[in-house]
Structures are given as structure tokens and as C-alpha cells.
Structure 1
Amino acid sequence: MNPQPARGRVDTKSAEVGAMVNREHFRHVLSQYPTGVAVVTALTMGGEPTGMTVGSFASVSMEPPLVSFMPSKTSASWASMQPLTNFCVNVLGAHQDEVCRLIASRKQDKFAGLDWHMSRLGNPVLTGCVATIECARQDVFDGGDHDIVLGRVRELSVEHPTLPLLFFRGGYGSFQPGPMLSGEAELVDHMRAVHLVRQRLADLATEVNSEVTTIVRLGDEVVVTSSYGASSAGELASRVGYRAPFVPPLGSVHAAWGSDALRERWLGNLGADATAADRMRYLAMLDDVRDRGYATSVTSDDRMDALALEMSHGRSALSMSVLRQHIRAVADEYDPTRTVGLAPTRVRGIMAPVFGARSEVAFLVMIWGDLSSRLEEAELARRGSVLRAAADEMTAIIGGAPA
């Protein structure tokens, strides 16, 4: 058994090994590991914003919530920040490589020309970053030619869920995410089917140049289970796990090809205050969806996604109640039977069913739209046809029987 060197003493054998490591070779080998890029910001004692670019930001602990970064001991930026007790980690997006270079430069006023604002806790926040983590400095440790700074998280948020900026082999860039799959045990059979059609889903995402997801009904919820490609707006495909209630007009594809009992369950989720007119409207909607072969969602509303994501990450009875109320309030905008009509309109998504062996809806495929652009009716119909053809192919691949 080899005894461990006493804490605080120099391990001469390790020192000899360290001396044998060539500096350039060390740098080359470690550059094979990509790192995220962040800017640590703070206010100087004089109240001016300051910051430094780091590639060493890391999560340390959840209980208590701790993060770290490792600045060079010779960094002038770090020297100016050492007296400070609070800082903010700004995770940069792929579009912010110029911001990274400006902050990394040695010029005096690094924030000149940059768009930023002050956080509630008094830290500079760079506009357009992916996420912010605001911290109180907890400790600083010796780390060779770098310091190891430990911060206790006070507040954090996702600002813009875009693709992150990466540092790899001496250069800055990003990456295209592959398929993201949900891992819930109750979805095992469903995910086997999705796995069989994964290449067709990826091809469809490329063909329509947008994010494509699969959605399954689980009881009284609809859940996004996999995602391929990225949205045309460049956002990270992060909707996996997104949940929403199986309540009109959501879940119309499952209800349209479902049994009478499933339709009644869907309509029953409207609540006790639903009128006979509400029921007739949604039953007519299901007939329209079946006739067309796909459903559409036309909206300019962003609150829906925000509420659904909130519910997905910590589903409380309150958030579900709020989400249901909001769905009722904007039902006209989410009418899945709506066509674009004469005026070009923003289309949130187009959905078509993939069938299982018993002609039931195994899952649906959704092409997500770019709400920053508008579609003509002819283009919506073209995309609907492309989606229907792809969904029919997937039905054949998994051995399903079209209804």
C-alpha cells in the first residue's frame, strides 16, 4: 500500500512527474476537451462595470448551491475584481464571440459599446447571454498558476435558451445538438418506436429547416419526448420534457383519431363551466383535423410556452391551473383547424399522427414554426403535405396500421 503524502507537503515524486510534462503538449492535449465560455462581471469599488472572459466555469454543488471559475493569477481583470464580494457569471451564446473578444481584451473600458443592464442584485448582465448565475464570493483557493474562486449562488436564470459559445482547439464556435430523448420509464415502448424512425425525423428536420419533435399522450397530459434539429431562430432544441394538459384545443390530433371515450375525456377536461357550444365547436374541430390529415396552430402568443415549461420543470397544481386558464383565454389563437387565409400569418406548428399496430395514434410528429416570420396559405399546405408523407412513412417503419 502506498502512503499518501501529508496534506500541505510537496510530493516530490509528483513534482518530478509534473516537470516531465511539456507545457505545449499539455495545452494541446487539454484543448481536445471543449469548454463553455462565460464572462464574469461585477461592479468596481467606484461603481464601474468590469469583467473577464473565462473558460473554466463549472457547477460544484447543489446543496449548498456552489459554482466556481479559475482566473489566472497574472490577470489584470482578476486583480481588479479580487476585492469584490459579488459577481455574475454570464454564459455566452454562440452569437456572442465578439463580446467574448472585447471583454478578453486588455483595454480599459471593456463595456464601451456593449449592451448590458444592471441586475436586481447590482451586477452587470450582458444582453443576449444564454444564462446568468449571480453569486456571493465564498472562498478563493490556490490552484497553481490560477486561483480557484468558489461562489455561492444567490440568483440564476435562463435569459435566452440559444446555442452556447464553445472554446475548442484554440478557437470559438458552437455545435448542432443531436436528438434529445426523454428517459421516463413509462415511455420505454414509445421510445423504441421513436428510435426506429429517428433517421426519418432527422431528415424531416433538415428538409423543413426547423425543429421537429415527437409528442405522446400520457393520461391527461401531452409530452414532448424527442427533438431533432434546431428552430429556424437558432434556439437550442430544448422542448423535450415539455408538458401540457390534454385539454381542447391541445391534443386535438390524439382526440381526432381516438375512440369516442377518449374524445369525451378530452372534452371533459374543459371543466364544468364548458358550454354546449364549446363542445360542438371542438367536436367540429376534430372532424376538420381528420379530413385534412394534420392540425395547425396559429398564434403570436409566447406566454403559452413559458407556462408549459414552468409546469414541466416543477409541476404544481397552481401552475397547471394557470396554464389551463391561459389555454382557455387564447383558444382562438391555438385553433388547430385554422388555415392561414389571405393574410400571411405566424404558424406555431403543424402536427400529424403516426399510427401503431391497432390503428391508434402511437405519437404525433410536430414541425415547429418560426414565429418571427409569416406563412402564406399555399406554403402552409405544402408543409402539411410534407409532414403527412413523413408521418405515413414512419407508420410503415414501426409496423403501424393507418386509421
Structure 2
Amino acid sequence: MGMPGIQDAPDSARVLDQAHFRFVLGHYPSGVAAITGRNAEGAPVGMVATSFTSVSLDPPLVAFLPMRTSSTWAALGETGAFCINVLAADQEAVSRQLAVKGGDKFGGIGWRTEATGSPVLDGAVAWIDCTVGAVHEAGDHFIVVGRVEDLDVQKPSSPLLSFQGGYGTVASPALAASGVPELPEVVEHFRLVDALRPRMSAASRELGVEVVATALLDDEVVALATSGHPEPGRLPTRVGQRMPYRPPLGAAFAAWSDSERWVARLPPEQRPHARGLARRVRERGWSATLGGPGSLDLERALYRLPVNAPSSEELHAVGGLLDPLSEAYEPHTFTAKDRIPLRTVAVPVLGPVGAIRLVLTAYGLPALSTYDDLVRYRDTLLEVARTVQQGA
């Protein structure tokens, strides 16, 4: 044992023992990703990596670490594009098939292509389509940095993990937003979200925007699930993200519940305007808000709120950015000739007796939308809600 404050000399033999190195690092679990692409002849090629990681948000960059001797990486490097496929817990056989050298790696595996032409595997949790941004040497591996060209979640489910030389899995954290109490009604919300996930993913792909499912829990509107991604420059929604249930926020929930509880949060002179918002949403059957000078400030403030028990000071800061009388919330009319600075379009998911259960919101829309865009957002979300309601 060394003297206090003095470290023992490292065991260089142990550090250089590759089997021991692999054994120790195997105690750190990692996700399993299939790296797919094309060779110079256009044929699909693929490999498995447990070294995939995100690198940067602005610009969006990811990375993985292939061995320098990898023939698959050599092929991908020539064509300059690849797709990261996050494998699902039930895709262990796919992982094993792609990990084998030689043979028909894609035999029996369904796939399609997206932006770069690289294979996107059927059944993967998510895919990230990339072009090669940089390659760095690192010992017996390369560090390949990819520029993200497109990405999406196609099967929200538990991912496949690599741990101690074998495979494992874990329950998706998106099923339990941080700080949300496990009350019977909350469990029912999550059950409904599970049913919504595939349809939310399909809707976000069709619309090209983020689709968010929120629930009213006590005095907060909480994001329970999200799919897709917003326009560049807009902050994505975090699972568990909260916003205060106070006019003008949360009008869709107020429209199909006790709206007076919502209205009463305002001074008496502002309450008639809030009642009008809730009534307008109920009559239309959907909600819409417009972007404005302060909308990005509000989005940033909501994004900064902790997902677990935000303080009263943090909630007050958000409240200070709200204008209950703003005309950006639930505008009276939309006409076919308008170019509309839409911020959100939302619809209710109702229960058997008409009580509101969730709200589905199209978020992160382009700076300007047409009237036809508004109709498309609305009708797509209404169809998702209707399908779930019929199956409830």
C-alpha cells in the first residue's frame, strides 16, 4: 500500500493486457448500432459498432470508431456516406448477422433508403443518416465523424445493449418522464402514449415536424412523448418538459375540461379573453398558435426548466414571458390566401365520455405556412387521435 497522498505505480502489464482491457471496459454498457452504407458498386454493406456517440448539436455531428482493418469501413470511406441504425432489443439476430465477415449480410433483412442512399434497417429504434465529415487516427481504430443529414425515430422501444461480452436491454426512459408520480391516472396516460407512439412517428415523418404528446398533471402540462424533430433553429422538446397550466398556455386542455380552473389563474379583467380562447378551441375542435417576437424567448425559458420539480422562481420566470391577451394564441380566423407564421397546431385525444386525456401538438413548424399546411397538420393529428380513441 502506498504512502498517503502518493499513488501506487500503475501495473503496466495489466494495462497492456488486451483481454483485461476488454474485460474492464466491458463493464460499461453501450448501445448496439448497425452502420450501413454502399460500396463503390452500389451494393449494401454493413457492420456493427458499440462505439457510436453524439458529438455536437450545432452543427449536428455524430461519430463511431471502426477498426483500421475493417473492410466495411474502407467501402464506406470511399462512398462518403453511412447510416447509423440503433438496433432494437429484438434485433440480436440482425446484429450477429451483420457482425459476421463475408457472406450475404443483408439476406432476409428488410431495408429502405433515405437522404444518402444508405440502408435504413426495418425494425431499428432510430436511424441517423450521415455523410463523412472527418476521419481521425486513434491507435488501432479510426474516429469517423459524421455530418447528420437526416434522422428519425421509427420504432420507439427498448434498444439492444452490449454488456460484458453479451447482449442485454433496458426499459425505455421515455416511458417514465422524470418527476412524474406513478398514480393510476398517470399510468393510464403512459398506456395511451404507448399506443400512440407508432402513429406519432408516422405523422412526424409525413409532416416533417416534431409531434409531441402532452398530459395535464396537476397544475402543469408535461410532455410524455415526442417524435421527429423541429425546424433548424428551434429547440426540440424534451420528454418530461413542463409548462405552467396558465392562460394562454394549455387552452386545448381547458377547452375540454373545467376551463374556469384555468381562467381563474388570471386577474378578473383578463378572464373574459381567456374564456374566449377556450371556447374558440372547443368550437373548432383544434388549437393553433402563431410565432412572434417573444415566442423563441418563451421556448428557451421552457427548455431551461428542469424536468424534475422546477422551482417557483423558474416557473415565475416563464410566467413573466406570457401575455394572456396576446393575439398570437387561437387567432379568430385563417384564410386561404394567408402566409401564416404558425408556431403550433394541436388537437385533443378524448376518452369514451369526451373527457380530454392527452393533447397532440405539431411543433417546430417552418417560419411561414400556407393555409393548406395548417389543414394538413390539423387533419393528420386528428386522424391519429381518432384512431387511438376508437381503439381505446
TM-score interval for Structure 1 and Structure 2 normalised by the shorter chain:
0.5 to 0.7
> Structure 1 residues 392, 18: closer, same or farther in 2, change over 3 A?
closer
Task: Identify the residue that residue 73 of structure 2 maps to in structure 1.
Answer: none
Task: Give TM-score scaled by structure 1 length.
Answer: 0.56
Question: Corresponding residue for 1:246?
Answer: 245
Residue matched to 1:223: 222
Counterpart of 2:261, as a letter, is R
The partner residue of 1:328 within 320, 323, 326 is 323
Q: Which residue of 1 aligns with 2:195?
A: 196
Aligned-residue sequence identity (percent) comes to 21
Q: Residue type of the partner of 1:210?
A: V
For the residues of structure 1 that align with 2:254 and 2:314, how far apart are their CA atoms? 24
Q: Does 1:214 align with 2:213?
A: yes
3-state SS in 2 of match to 1:226: strand
Distance in 1 (CA, whole Å) between partners of 2:320 and 2:12 is 65
Shift of 1:335: 1.1
Could you say which residue in structure 2 is the equivalent of 1:279?
Answer: 271
Residue 108 (structure 1) aligns with: none
Counterpart mapping for 1:96-115 below 5 A: 98=133, 100=134
Partner of 1:33: 51
**1:247-278 CA distances to partner (integer Å, 9 max, x unpaired)?**
111111111111xxx211101112xx340xx2
Query: Cα deviation per residue 1:63-115 (whole Å; 9 max; x = unaligned)?
Result: xxxxxxxxxxxxxxxxxxxxxxxxxxxxxx999964x56xx69xxxxxxxxxx
Structure 1, residues 144-165: CA drift from partner, whole Å, max 9, x if none? 979xxxxxxxxxxxxxxxxxxx
The verdict on how the C-alpha distance between 1:17 and 1:215 changes in structure 2, with shifts beyond 3 A counting, is closer
Aligned to 1:172: 146
Deviation at 1:338, TM superposition (A): 4.3
> Which residues in structure 2 correspond to 1:367-382 (within 5 Å)?
367-372=362-367, 374-382=368-376
* Contact 1:340 1:375 survives alignment (8 Å): no
Letter in 1 for 2:323: R
Is 1:316 matched with 2:311? yes
Asked whether the equivalents of residues 345 and 375 of structure 1 are also in contact (C-alpha less than 8 Å), the reply is yes
Partner Cα separation in structure 2 for residue 16 and residue 349 of structure 1: 54
Q: Is the 8 A contact 1:298 1:338 kept in 2?
A: no
Deviation sequence 1:320-357 (CA, Å, 0-9, x none): 1121121126x415412444445412111111010123
The CA distance in 2 between the partners of 1:200 and 1:168, in whole Å, is 38
For residues 211 and 48 of structure 2, the distance between their equivalents in structure 1, rounded to whole angstroms, comes to 35
Structure 1 residues 182 and 297: CA distance shift in structure 2, 3 A: farther
Tell me whether 1:359 sits opposite 2:354 in the alignment. Answer: yes
* Corresponding residue for residue 265 of structure 1: 261
Q: Is 1:385 aligned to 2:384, yes or no?
A: no
- Report deviation, 1:246: 0.8
Gaps of 5+ in 2: 1-7, 22-45, 66-127, 157-173
Residue 387 of structure 1 and its aligned partner are, at CA, apart by 2.0
Contact 2:234 2:364 in 1 (8 A): no
Tell which structure's C-alpha radius of gyration is larger. Answer: 1
Quick one: distance in 2 between partners of 1:304 and 1:38?
24
Distance 1:304 1:15, change over 3 A: closer
Distance in 1, Cα, partners of 2:230 & 2:139: 42
Provide Cα deviations, 1:224-259, integer angstroms capped at 9, x if missing partner.
11001122438674432221111111111111111x
Structure 1 residue 29, shift from structure 2 partner? 9.1
Change (3 A) 1:386 1:32: closer
The answer as to whether partners of 1:211 and 1:368 remain within 8 angstroms in 2 is yes
Deviation, structure 1 residue 12: 7.8
1:159 aligns with none
Give 1:17 shift: 5.6
Distance 2:14 2:246 in 1: 69
Task: Number of aligned residue pairs: give it.
Answer: 267
Contact 1:340 1:380 in 2 (8 A): no
What is the CA–CA distance in structure 1 between the aligned matches of 2:221 and 2:64, rounded to whole Å?
Answer: 38
Report if the CA contact (8 A) 1:339-1:377 is conserved. no
Q: Which residue is equivalent to 2:10? A: 8
Change (3 A) 1:38 1:281: closer
**Alignment-mate amino acid for residue 311 of structure 2:** S
Structure 2 residue 291 is the aligned partner of structure 1 residue 292: no
Q: How large is the Cα RMSD of the aligned pairs?
A: 4.0
Write out per-residue CA displacement over residues 185-243 of structure 1, whole angstroms, 9 at most, x where no aligned residue: 43322111110122111111122111101010011111111001122438674432221
Quote how far apart the aligned CAs of 1:393 are. Answer: 1.3
Q: What is the deviation of 1:11?
A: 4.1
Matches of 1:321 and 1:363 in 2, distance apart? 25
Contact 2:288 2:345 in 1 (8 A): yes
Cα contact 2:51–2:64 (8 A) shared by 1: no
Q: Given the superposition, is the C-alpha separation of residues 264 and 203 from structure 1 closer, same or farther in structure 2, using an over 3 Å criterion?
A: same
Question: How far apart in 1 are the matches of 2:233 and 2:302?
Answer: 20
Change in CA separation of 1:233 and 1:9 when aligned onto 2, cut-off 3 Å? closer
Q: How far apart, in 2, do the equivalents of 1:384 and 1:240 lie?
A: 22
**1:31-58 alpha-carbon deviations (Å, 9 max, x no partner):** 542134479xxxxxxxxxxxxx9979xx
CA distance in 2, matches of 1:235, 1:205: 15
Question: CA–CA distance in 2 between the matches of 1:282 and 1:381?
Answer: 24
